[in-house]
Amino acid sequence: MNDLQNEMVSLRALEPGDIEILFELENDSSLWKYSNRIEPYSKELLQDYIANAHRGVLEIKQIKFTVVNREKDAVGFIDLFDFEPLHHRAAVGIVIHKKQQGSGLGAAALALLETYGQKYLQLHQLYAHIATENQISKVLFEKLGYKCVGTKEDWNYYDGRYHDELLYQKII
């Protein structure tokens, strides 16, 4: 096995064939509150994003991988963003299709991303911003050893009220 594959999933670069699942997940309005968005993305915009995904992490300070299951189906995406090479840290974002959640694919993908970040980007720490009510994400990150190191009170406004956001961190 290579550095971007384990017994459950593999991580690969975005490909044009990922457009349908990317379009579906990015335009799932129930997830927008977790990504600070309020409008959908067009297929054209997402196709341009995929076409420019080859630009390096050092240039654009982020990298997105497609999460692929054993059957070679794209099931979600995981990315490093706000990459800070000077401080050896980056934020983590992950979305797994609802049909695949709870199957361990997210944890397997996150473990691979940690290995990649440490080996190829010399990352010392990863962090994630998680809404207090996002139990699925809290369980996932805690399962992989992330610690809640702070609460940002009334940080985000959605569903007609303010919500706290938790900061999870892992030294790798």
Residue-wise pLDDT tens digits, 132-167: 999 999 999 999 999 999 999 999 999 999 999 999
- Whole-number pLDDT of residue 1: 58
The predicted model gives 52-79 an average pLDDT of: 90
Please, what sign has the CA dihedral across residues 168, 46, 108, 135? positive
89-102 pLDDT, tens digit per residue, is: 999 999 999 999 98
Helix ranges (H only) for 27-165 are 43-51, 57-60, 105-121, 135-143
Q: Is 18 exposed, middle or buried (0-12, 13-18, 19+ CB in 10 A)?
A: buried
For domain 9-129, give the CATH superfamily: Gcn5-related N-acetyltransferase (GNAT) (3.40.630.30)
Alpha-carbon distances of 39 from 26, 93, 120, 122, 127, rounded to whole Å: 10, 19, 34, 35, 25
pTM exceeding the 0.75 threshold for the entire prediction: yes
- How many percent of the chain have pLDDT more than 70? 99
